[in-house]
């Protein structure tokens, strides 16, 4: 969606990269801060239920496209882990980090595949988010099933975590598309 806005304004490549970089940094910052706030207010179980890091990644994909969405999906858990490790309480936990990287990369890339369509029709954010969520969660489950013999996360544990986070996923499946649609209205200013 951002690409289409910048193209309409005939922005130079340097401007496009700068704008996308700044938005990506904002998405990553939100993906680090939001889980901290949820964990502070609701504890670790709140994080497992509401999945706060997922929301910015889904929105970032919708706004930035698949390549940049993939990037914020990969970088967000890494940056969060690095910063929170310095504070003595790494989030996500080291054992969960590779799974989060893969899952969030899929979230960002899949939701980003719809970015151009969302720019044309804001309602496309709904299938973008739903497909990204399903693909990301299936990736998480598949990786756990493949590596369960060498990892503390078995497919059963992951399935339980998926069920625990279902309410958060449903909430995000509503919030993220409406946020994307609102930003679309602000940025594109349709005259429909």
Range of the domain at 55: 2-188
Neighbouring C-beta atoms of residue 68, cutoff 10 Å: 24
- Percent of the chain at pLDDT > 70 equals 98
Angle (CA) 147 152 157, round 5°? 90
Of 148, 37, 47, 34, the closest CA to residue 93 belongs to 47
**pLDDT for residue 99 is more than 80:** yes
Mean pLDDT in residue range 176-192: 84
Per-residue pLDDT of 135-182, as tens digits, reads 999 999 999 999 999 988 899 999 999 999 999 999 999 999 999 999
Helix/strand/coil (H, E, C) string of the chain? CHHHHHHHCCCCHHHHHHHHHHHHHHHHHHHHHHHHHHHHHHHHHHHHHHCCCHHHHHHHHHHHCHHHHHHHHHHHHHHHHHHHHHCCCCCCCCCCHHHHHHHHHHHHHHHHCCHHHHHHCHHHHHHHHHHHHHHHHHHHHHHHHHHCCCCCCCHHHHHHHHHHCHHHHHHHHHHHHHHHHHHHHHHHCCCC
Task: Identify the pLDDT of residue 97.
Answer: 95
Average pLDDT score over the chain: 94
Binned at pLDDT 50, 70 and 90, residue 115 comes out as very high
CATH number at residue 28: 1.10.1760.20
Q: What is the pLDDT of residue 181?
A: 96
Residue 89 pLDDT grade (very low, low, confident, very high; cuts 50, 70, 90): confident
- How many domains is the chain partitioned into structurally? 1
pTM comes to 0.94
- 35-69 tens-digit pLDDT: 999 999 999 899 999 999 999 999 999 999 999 99
């Amino acid at each position: 969606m951002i690409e289409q806005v910048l193209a309409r304004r005939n922005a130079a490549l340097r401007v496009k990269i700068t704008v996308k970089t700044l938005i990506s940094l904002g998405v990553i910052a939100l993906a680090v801060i939001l889980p901290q706030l949820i964990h502070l207010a609701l504890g670790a179980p709140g994080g497992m239920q509401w999945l706060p890091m997922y929301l910015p990644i889904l929105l970032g994909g919708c706004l930035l496209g698949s390549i940049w969405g993939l990037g914020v999906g990969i970088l967000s858990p890494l940056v969060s882990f690095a910063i929170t490790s310095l504070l003595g309480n790494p989030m996500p936990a080291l054992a969960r980090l590779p799974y989060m990287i893969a899952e969030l990369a899929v979230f960002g890339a899949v939701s980003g595949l719809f970015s151009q369509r969302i720019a044309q029709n804001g309602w496309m954010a709904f299938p973008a988010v739903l497909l990204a969520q399903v693909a990301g969660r299936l990736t998480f489950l598949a990786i756990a099933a493949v590596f369960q013999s060498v990892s503390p996360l078995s497919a059963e544990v992951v399935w339980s975590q998926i069920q625990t986070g279902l309410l958060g996923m449903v909430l995000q499946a509503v919030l993220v598309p409406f946020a994307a649609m609102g930003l679309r209205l602000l940025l594109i200013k349709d005259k429909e």
